[in-house]
Structure 1
Amino acid sequence: MKLLLDFFPIILFFVTFKTWGIMAATAVAIAATVLQIGYMWRKNGFVEPMQWVSLGVIVVFGGATLLTQDETFIKWKPTVLYWLMASALWLGHYVFKRNFIEKLMGAQVSLPAHAWGVLLHSWACFFAVMGCLNIWVANHFDTDTWVSFKLFGGLGLMLVFVVAQGIYMSRFIKDKSEDSV
C-alpha cells in the first residue's frame, strides 16, 4: 500500500498526460501530491521532511509550468528533486557528520561503518546521475518520450540500483546460525 501511495502522483501524471496533455498532467500531479501529503499527515500525524521538499518542488515547478504554459519547468522538477537528495546526503556527511542512509536503515540492518559510507556515496552519486540523465532526456527528446522515461526509465533504473545495493549489503549480513557458533 505504501508503494502505491508513493507512486500515486507519478502514475496519475502519466495517465493524465496520455489523455489530456502536459498542462493537465501537471495540475493533476500538484493536486495528487497535495492529497498524498494530506493523507499521510492525517494517517501518521507527521510527514517525512523529503516528502515536504517534494511537495514544495512540485508546487513551485508545476506552478511555474502552469503560469507560463512552458513545460520546461515541469521537466526540470525531477532533476531538482534528485539533486536535492544527493546534496542532502553529501551535506549530511561532510557538514553534519551524519550518514542519513544509516539513520534511515540502521534499525533494520547492521553493517560496518565503511559499508554505510559506500551506500551513502552510492546513493548520492545515483541521484546526481539521475538528475543529469533526466535533464538530458528532457532536452534531447520530445515530451512524450520524456514522460515515458520519467515513469518507466526512472523506476527501472531505481529498481536495478536497489537490487545492486541489496546484493552489496548482503555481503555484510551475517546468518543467525553464524552468531550462535
Structure 2
Amino acid sequence: MKQLLDFLPLIIFFAVYKFADIYTATGALIAATAVQLVVTYLLYKHIEKMHLITFAMVTVFGALTLFFHDDAFIKWKVTIVYGLFAVGLAVSQLMGKPALKSMLGKEIQVKDTIWAHVTWYWVAFFIICGVVNIYVAFSLPLETWVNFKVFGLTALTLINTVLTVVYLFKHMEKPPEETQP
C-alpha cells in the first residue's frame, strides 16, 4: 500500500498529461502530492522528510510552471530534488552520521565502510540522474521527457534499490553462532 501511495502522484501526473497537457498535469501533480501527504499521515501517523521535501519542491516549481506558463520549472524540479538528495546524503556521510544507515541500520547490520560505499553510490546515482534529466528535459521533446521522468527514472531508481539491497545483504554481518553443549 505504501509503495502505491508513493507512486500515485507520478501516475496521476502521467495520466493527466496524456489526456490534457503539461500544465494541467502539473496542477494535478501538486494536488496529488498534497493528498499523498494527508493520506500518508492518516494511515501511518508519520510523514517522511523525503515526502515533505518533494511536496515543497513540487509545490514551488509547479506553481512557477503554472504562473509563468513555462514547463522549464517543472523540468528543473527533478534535477533540484536529486541534487538535494545527493547533497543531503553526502553531508550526512561527511558528518559521520550516514542517513542511509540511520534509516536502514536497525534492519541491516553492515560495517560502516559498506554504508559509506552505498551512500557514495547513491550520491553518484542522484547526480547522474540529475544531469541526464537536464539533457532529456531541454534537448528532447516534452513527450520524451515525461516518459523518461515517469518510466526511465522510476525504473532506474528501482533497479538501483534492488542492487543496493543485494549488496547490503551480501555484506551483512552474521550473528554470532551459539556453541552446542
Q: 1:19 to 1:43 in 2, by over 3 A?
A: same
**Is 2:177 aligned against 1:179?**
yes
Q: In the alignment, what sits opposite 2:71?
A: 71
CA RMSD of the aligned region, Å?
1.5
Mapped partners of 1:68, 1:12: distance in 2? 22
Paired residue total = 179
Alpha-carbon distance, 1:162 to partner? 1.7
Matches for 1:88-167 after TM superposition, within 5 Å = 88-94=88-94, 96-167=95-166
Tell me the secondary structure at the aligned position of residue 163 of structure 1. helix
- Unpaired runs of 5+ in structure 1? none
Alpha-carbon distance, 1:41 to partner? 2.0
Normalised TM-score (structure 1) = 0.93
Alpha-carbon distance, 1:146 to partner? 0.3
CA distances 1:87-132 after superposition (whole Å, capped 9, x unpaired):
11111122x3210000000011000111011011111111111111
Contact 2:14 2:25 in 1 (8 A): yes
Counterpart amino acid of residue 114 in structure 1: T
> What is the percentage of aligned positions where both structures have the same residue?
32
Counterpart amino acid of residue 107 in structure 2: Q
Alpha-carbon distance, 1:163 to partner? 2.2
Alpha-carbon distance, 1:42 to partner? 2.3
Counterpart amino acid of residue 76 in structure 1: W
* Larger deviation, residues 125-134 vs 11-20: 125-134
**Is 2:28 aligned against 1:28?**
yes
Alpha-carbon distance, 1:170 to partner? 2.6
Mapped partners of 1:166, 1:122: distance in 2? 13
Q: Which runs of 4+ in 1 moved over 6 A?
A: none
Matches for 1:28-47 after TM superposition, within 5 Å = 28-47=28-47
Q: In the alignment, what sits opposite 2:15?
A: 15
Mapped partners of 1:45, 1:16: distance in 2? 29
Matches for 1:56-67 after TM superposition, within 5 Å = 56-67=56-67
Mapped partners of 1:150, 1:111: distance in 2? 33
Counterpart amino acid of residue 81 in structure 2: L
Mapped partners of 1:3, 1:16: distance in 2? 20
- Unpaired runs of 5+ in structure 2? none
Mapped partners of 1:143, 1:19: distance in 2? 14
Tell me the secondary structure at the aligned position of residue 5 of structure 2. helix
Q: In the alignment, what sits opposite 1:4?
A: 4
